[in-house]
Amino acid sequence: MTSGKIRWGILGPGSIAKSFAGGVAGSRTGELVALGARNPAKPGLAETFPGARILDGYEALLADRQVDAVYISIPHPGHAEWAIKAAEAGKHVLCEKPLALTAFEADAMMHAARKAGTFLGEAFMYRLHPQTRQLIELIKSGAIGEVRMIKSSFGFAMPRFMPEHRLYANELAGGGILDVGGYPVSMARLIAGAAVGQPFLEPDKVVGAAHLGQSGVDEWASALLTFANGIVAEVSCSISLDQDNVLRILGTRGRIEVPDFWFAGGNRDVGPGRIEVIRSGAAREVISLGETRHLYSFEVDAAGEAILAGRQEFAWPGMSWADSLGTLRVLDKWRHAAGLEYEIEKPAKRVTTLSGRSLRTDGKAIPKRAIPDLPRQASVLALGFEDFRSFSSGSILLDAYFEAGGNLFDTGFVYGAGYTEALLGQWLKNRGVREQSVIIAKGAHSPLCYPDVIAKQLAQSLDRLQTDHVDIYFMHRDNPDVPVDEFVDAMDAEARAGRIRGLFGGSNWTTERMDAAIAYAEKNGRQRPGALSNNFSLAEMLEPIWPGCITSSTDAWKAWLTARQMPNFAWSSQGRGFFTERAGRDRTDNEELVRVWYSEKNFGRRDRAIELARKLGKSPIHVALAYVLAQPFPSVPLIGPRTLDELEDSLKALDIKLTPEDVAWLDEGPERRRA
């Protein structure tokens, strides 16, 4: 930094980049020093961006040591890639809206910034204009009573359908929802929050619709947001339809109207600020702020102040990370309701990681181990990913897990109504890593827990997975009314046909049924069941989380697993939140935690996990996961992170090496005092 100012570089020239440059020129904290352009010889760049060195390409901008912060103004699909690369290069980032195509992408961007210690902000310039703060003060003061409804739009009409224009281009994520829909959505959330004294509020329900035009992008769209405090927000956007673009806030004693709110009643250069308050029986009150500063200078200074103060996020009313994620989650739901998925989000086009690089295959953070009768070594942690419903969202986590060294994937016929298997199949084919991966499949779930279901469901699973075999297969439940030999015969037949090429066994099976199955297989020349997938954790499950579930955390079970040396792929291996702050002797708000895990014996284990975690500089949940890994039998925890932060946090458990004495002390307490 020179003279205490942030040295800005602009990544990608364009009309909004020009406006941002004007904002930098009018700011107190910044100066424009460079522009990264794919075509640096384009006429007019030097005149449009005076004082900026014109660099050849985006990489050159990120490599420039004279640049402290980068403003990203390229089309939406490049936001995540270049924000991540900028963070990795140690650059602060202010990224044009939308921050990313989805909340999942934005979360990955925040993960990169968090690791790098850099600033990341979403450039909704209206949020930093003084008009916004004035509006919030009116709401908080009760100027129109209690807020009941919000009506907000941002829409305009392009001259005609222009397939070459970014707003109509499917490959550039065009359309109104992503380009301008975030303005009314973020504003509605801000006002709903202000009405209850919070920075923002998330809607309980989002109902959306849109007209998808010739290129498959939304040309006009509307959504209805309902909030827990009773506020209803009607939001709309368009690129092919003029709208009045007046923000209306309706309360019990009047309403507020703000014309052309998004530009503070002005244009991209100056927004003077104008708010109108209309009360029943009273004259219309006009509040004019008379601002003369450049419209974009406010966000430049807000970003600069955050960077100079060492903060990684905007201060309120700027868009914090949680605020940006909340807005994008609404846009995700809106798009889903409208059936809008861009071609660039589908497997055929998304062939690299989110950072734009090929998938790395040499990860070592997650070690691998040999498991008896499994032809390929498997990572010590298995990944479950049932929560994802699109390739673009799920591939972010799958990529990160694989690049860390993970190759063991947990799926099931019923997971996500089959989508989990389909997603994994798409990813394995897209990334070309089927031969390096180990797939766990499950079938015969209640109520269809019968031998003749196994072949039928496995055939469908293989079709979804786009492979001719799985490596590990579990019956998802047991049916004690069916002789165990019939199940063994059915699974053995699939192994002989080559559709199971490793282990098979039972998920949620008892020791008695497993012993009987093994005895039958050995006596009759069948492949013996060689694995289990039962619950196992430091906390003992007191009653089943779901009907038909079995825990293997009891002393009798541990003795059986050790004697048999039976591999157990442990679900809920971290106690489903019992070892986090969600649980506690005085915290009884979570019905599942109380019902399934709360006992004095389990709390004693939790206390010891907390004690050991403090000594090791880890968290209790890390100790709980390390406990599962340190068992005297092959024990493979199944983890289900939803974000990259959660995945990275789980991997911290791999740094903990527990001795048999540590394991016994955690389990049994003071009589096995840890040295």
Specify the range with the lowest mean pLDDT, choosing from 2-6, 491-495, 621-625, 631-635.
Answer: 2-6
pLDDT band, very low/low/confident/very high, at 3 (cuts 50, 70, 90): low
pLDDT at site 500: 98
Among residues 644, 634, 640, 594, the alpha carbon closest in space to that of 621 is found at: 640
- Whether 97 is catalytic: yes
DSSP string for 386-421? TT--SHHHHHHHHHHHHHTT--EEE--TTGGGGHHH
Read off the pLDDT of residues 108-124 as tens digits, 9 standing for 90 and up. Answer: 999 999 999 999 999 99
Read off the pLDDT of residues 636-648 as tens digits, 9 standing for 90 and up. Answer: 999 999 999 999 9
> How confident is the model over 209-229, as a mean pLDDT?
97
Nearest-angstrom CA–CA distance, 285 and 277:
5
pLDDT band, very low/low/confident/very high, at 34 (cuts 50, 70, 90): very high
| Bridge-based pairing state of the strands 147-155 and 254-259 | unpaired
In which element (H, E) is residue 570 found? Answer: strand 568-570
Region for residue 652 given its phi and psi (left: phi exceeds 0; alpha: psi -120 to 50; beta: otherwise):
alpha
Q: Which two tokens stand for residue 221?
A: 């769209």
Backbone phi, psi, residue 409, to 5°? -115, 130
> How confident is the model over 230-256, as a mean pLDDT?
97
pLDDT at site 281: 80
In which element (H, E) is residue 644 found? Answer: helix 644-651
Among residues 85, 91, 97, 442, the one annotated as catalytic is 97
β-partners of residue 408 are: 438
| Bridge-based pairing state of the strands 6-11 and 69-72 | parallel
Does the predicted TM-score (pTM) go above 0.75? yes
Among residues 568, 596, 567, the alpha carbon closest in space to that of 583 is found at: 596
- Whether the pLDDT of residue 607 is over 70: the answer is yes
pLDDT at site 669: 86
- Whether the pLDDT of residue 532 is over 80: the answer is yes
| Bridge-based pairing state of the strands 635-639 and 568-570 | parallel
Give buried/exposed letters for 11-21 (b at 16+ CB in 10 A, else e). Answer: bbbbebbbbbb
Cis, bond preceding 641 (omega within 30 deg of 0): no
